């Protein structure tokens, strides 16, 4: 997929990773529609990027999602990046908070793909990219709602990738680990045990670029140790859960949940 000159719809553009993705794609000559809830963050970013436009919408409202899709017009590349952290033990959530996390993190990306894929298929070109997480490959205590949505995105992306391949439409799923400097992990203030490595928002943006340009199905953005750990969790989830417990995994998710309370 050629990025230069393409119309990109980027959700979560006001967030830590979204801003890096927006700058990188605009730098490659894409026309980017930046969305998020905070117009006061989107507008200066669009001004900085020159050709970008903005639309502030709340994706937990289905009518707003429709408005965004109408306004977006012909989309060549969808980057479904917006999400809520969904961190914390299950009993700490209200039903409304569960619904909102599933809506924003999983249902909206599906609805957007459903709306945009037919015209991409008719044109024989286009790309759908879903921002999952290593939490979409390895489940941890204190992360059940986030895990559910990010595992869900992985399954959805894999299936429609196979469905859309004959039509010439690419599909990718990106799996960041812990990202420093900006974004929902960095802002939580949670501390990692020594030896657990991080990546930067720019690493995620570079992975997005490479996923789209080379139509890569799945791309991890994490040091080798975390990548191997999440692969192992897929093969032997029970053993992996035991190891994670011994390494203090529940302490990390608990401190994440504390730092992300206001994002529910």
Ligand X SMILES: NC(=O)c1ccc[n+]([C@@H]2O[C@H](COP(=O)([O-])OP(=O)(O)OC[C@H]3O[C@@H](n4cnc5c(N)ncnc54)[C@H](OP(=O)(O)O)[C@@H]3O)[C@@H](O)[C@H]2O)c1
190 scored as a contact of ligand X (CB under 6 A): no
From the list 146, 151, 156, 185, the catalytic residue is 146
Residue from 46, 49, 52, 59 in contact with ligand X (CB under 6 A): 59
For 52, residues 6+ apart whose C-beta sits below 8 A from its C-beta are 22, 26, 31, 32, 33, 34, 45, 46
- The residue assigned the tokens 């900006």 is 182
Question: Measuring CA to CA, which residue among 98, 44, 102 is closest to residue 13?
Answer: 44
Measured CA to CA, the distance from residue 11 to residue 4 in angstroms comes to 19
176 is a contact residue toward ligand X (CB under 6 A) = yes
Site for ligand X in 105-144 (CB under 6 A): 131, 133
Strands (E), 170-261: 170-176, 218-221
Residue 146 annotated among the catalytic residues of the structure: yes
Q: Which stretch binds ligand X (CB under 6 A): 36-44, 110-118, 163-171, 243-251?
A: 36-44
CB of 89 to ligand X, least distance (A): 18
Residue 24 in contact with ligand X, rule: CB under 6 A: no
Closer Cβ to ligand X, 71 or 165, answer by number? 71
- Tell me which residues touch ligand X (CB under 6 A): 12-18, 36-38, 41, 57-60, 81-84, 104, 131, 133, 176, 178-179, 183-185
């Amino acid at each position: 997929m050629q990025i230069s000159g393409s119309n990109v719809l980027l959700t979560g553009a006001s967030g830590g990773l979204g801003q890096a993705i927006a700058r990188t794609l605009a730098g490659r000559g894409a026309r980017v529609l930046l969305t998020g809830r905070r117009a006061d963050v989107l507008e200066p970013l669009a001004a900085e990027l020159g050709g970008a436009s903005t639309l502030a919408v709340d994706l937990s409202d289905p009518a707003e999602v429709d408005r965004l899709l109408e306004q977006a017009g012909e989309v060549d590349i969808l980057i479904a990046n917006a999400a809520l952290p969904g961190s914390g033990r299950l009993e700490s959530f209200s039903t409304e908070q569960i619904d909102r996390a599933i809506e924003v993190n999983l249902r909206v990306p599906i609805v957007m793909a459903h709306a945009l894929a037919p015209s991409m298929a008719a044109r024989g070109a286009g790309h759908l990219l879903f921002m999952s997480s290593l939490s979409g490959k390895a489940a941890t205590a204190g992360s059940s709602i986030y895990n559910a949505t990010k595992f869900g995105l992985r399954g959805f992306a894999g299936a429609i990738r196979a469905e859309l391949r004959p039509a010439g439409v690419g599909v990718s799923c990106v799996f960041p680990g812990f990202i420093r400097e900006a974004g929902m992990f960095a802002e939580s203030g949670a501390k990692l045990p020594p030896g657990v490595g991080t990546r930067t928002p720019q690493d995620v943006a570079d992975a997005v670029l490479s996923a789209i340009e080379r139509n890569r199905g799945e791309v991890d953005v994490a040091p080798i140790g975390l990548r191997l750990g999440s692969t192992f969790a897929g093969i032997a989830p029970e053993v992996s859960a035991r190891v994670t417990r011994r390494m203090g995994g529940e302490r990390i998710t608990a401190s994440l949940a504390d730092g992300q309370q206001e994002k529910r």
